[in-house]
Amino acid sequence: MAKKHPHQHFLNRELGQLEFNRRVLAQAEDESIPLLERLRYLCIVSSNLDEFFEIRVAGLKALVKLSGITTNPDGMSAGQTLKRVCEQAHQMIERQYLLFNKHITPALAEQGVRFLRRTHWNEAQQAWVKDYFFREVMPVLTPIGLDPAHPFPRVLNKSLNFAVELQGKDAFGRTQARAIVQAPRVLPRTILMPPEISGCEHGFVFLSSILHSHVGELFSGMEVLGCFQFRVTRNSDLFVDEEEVKNLRLSLQGELPQRHFGDAVRLEIADNCSPQIAEFLMREFELDPEDIYRVHGPVNLVRLMGIPDMVARDDLKFPPFAPGMPSVIQKKGADMFKAIRKGDVLLHHPYQSFKPVIDFIQQAASDPGVVAIKQTVYRTGADSALMEALIAAAQRGKEVTVVVELLARFDEEANINWANRLEEVGAHVVYGVVGHKTHAKMLMVVRREDGKLKRYVHLGTGNYHPRTARLYTDFGLFTANEEVCGDVNEVFGQLTSLGKARTLNHLWQSPFTLHSQVLAAIRNETRLAKAGTPAHIIAKMNALLEPETIEALYEASQAGVKIELLVRGVCALRPGVKGLSENIRVRSVIGRFLEHTRIFYFRNELKHDVYLASADWMDRNFFRRIEVCFPVLDKKLKKRVLDEGLKAYLQDNCQAWDMTDDGSYHRKPARRGNTRCAQQQLLELLAAPTIKLA
């Protein structure tokens, strides 16, 4: 399809992801946020950047190697994008470590939470560290002296390692000057020193400091000239040709171990690393100078993520809360089937509990009237009460069908393990459709009532993962609506069997109808605006990238449609461009919880159509995944979604960032006494009332 708009009307995806991480980093810089939470945000930035390099940067490097000249909708080639990404990533990481060293670390020290550097250890601390090294560290280390018989070892992705420069001869008369020490992953990266030794309430020692201090013990009789920590990030995208393999699970199991040894894409080294060691490592990993990131501090900041949980200081963390429960199922042991028969039930996580979803499937597993359970699994975690309930249901003789997405990135191993356990108890396990990830969130229970079979369904915008349901904002809907349940049953049939896609009553589904239905709804608002009828679109999602959808939004804006977009992450659309998008506003809300909800609202001549979805407006979600978008039909619940999921965020003046036409974001400070924070308001509205919120 010929592009209707020039390249300059689209923003770059990779640069947009870095822009998102700048907004997360701003949370770590915000002094109004509790101190340990600021540290956590700092670690989240590192974790996000790890995946960014493992997937997006790795992909760019692969394209450059292939000499590909293909450009993205923004007009930039892979090489041009990679150059800009490297420049901005270096700036961001420098800013991150400056914040860690100059602001967060000193502020924590004032609160009795200290990172004890080896240059400041007293005699008692040195003695404790020495004892810890010989007792806990040295027995599990395997130093590798580099010589013709000991080549450079295979370094695991994102592992902590040390390059050591040596002088002298060993027991065999060898004079090799270099060695590599790999820190085993079983060793903690931060160790809590006893208060009576550390001199503070919470004193932590980095494993890197312990190794630095005693690395000479590993090379008896030789002089250590230098010891430098490093960490390599590798391409972690799995390649499994689904069209060629006979058994996807077996092929994936064979591919997973190789993820740790993909091509290197980034090298992080200590800022005091000698030029010769830096050059040596760069050659070993076949990297360029711009791929080297010198950092002042630990090369693996992600490993500090656990510090807030190790420090018993509630005053340095977000205040705790207990998720609320809808009144219809508030009573302990409430019959979920009876409640759903009375009317649709809406859950807004994390403000409301995920427990009703667990109760629903546990009741289904033990209910003699239930004959079948079907569920999709994308991410559910290594320890899941939901999956255990499915296993129990299968053991009780119920028909259990689970569509497991084996290619859920970084959750492949957990999903394979669940697939194995489910098959062992007789459940039907399928892996969706070749070439299409199953990303839809669907759960269906079939129950015999009064001699007839009745279906109950749960549909969601987020994963069936109890832990992330405490951290991510999502909606879940229970319904016994016969037409909606029939649609869900049809989608399950597509996933497990063969045949043509039938027309659905209410659901929009990828890869068949979701894209065309979204375009049709946008164009309907455009038509109404041209006819002089007020038209309005509000959409909330994680990412907006698909060009044809963006073009349709531009056309709607030019027709006079009011368009408000809440896009947490990457947005390729340019808002506020005169003659193109002056009626489009784009906001990103970054707060305590990860905004994960997908909501689409179309005014449609006061019909106020509201849809919830598992899909963002991206090429992959429209064309390469199984997704479902479902309407909220109950008027009261529709109003709740509008008020809680959209209006509260459009009115936020604390955690919302407004996007400009160049892709940058700005946060305007709220006037004193007039603050509106959507997430805090929703906690006060929906969380359990017995908890006093700050």
Distance in Å from the first CA to the final CA of the chain: 53
Q: What is the rounded distance in angstroms from the CA atom of residue 90 to the CA atom of residue 271?
A: 13
**Is 439 an annotated catalytic residue?**
yes
Using alpha carbons only, how large is the chain's radius of gyration in Å?
27
576 bridge partner residues: none
DSSP state of 333: T
Angle, alpha carbons 312-93-114 (nearest 5°): 25
451: region left, alpha or beta (phi > 0 left; psi from -120 to 50 alpha): left
Tokens standing for residue 166:
């040596």
Q: What is the rounded distance in angstroms from the CA atom of residue 571 to the CA atom of residue 67?
A: 27
Q: At 549, is the secondary structure helix, strand, or coil? A: helix
Catalytic residue among 212, 436, 439, 465: 439
Q: What is the rounded distance in angstroms from the CA atom of residue 352 to the CA atom of residue 63?
A: 44
The number of residues in the chain equals 694
Helices (H), 396-542: 412-424, 482-496, 514-530
Q: Are 234 and 262 in contact (CB under 8 A)?
A: yes
Q: What is the rounded distance in angstroms from the CA atom of residue 37 to the CA atom of residue 40?
A: 5
Question: Nearest 5°: phi and psi at 176?
Answer: -60, 140
544: region left, alpha or beta (phi > 0 left; psi from -120 to 50 alpha): beta
Q: At 310, is the secondary structure helix, strand, or coil? A: helix
Q: How many CA atoms lie within 13 A of 81 on its CB side?
A: 28
Directed axis angle between helix 248-255 and helix 412-424, to 10°?
140
552 bridge partner residues: none
Angle, alpha carbons 537-541-544 (nearest 5°): 85
Tokens standing for residue 653:
């003046």
List, by residue number, the catalytic residues. 439
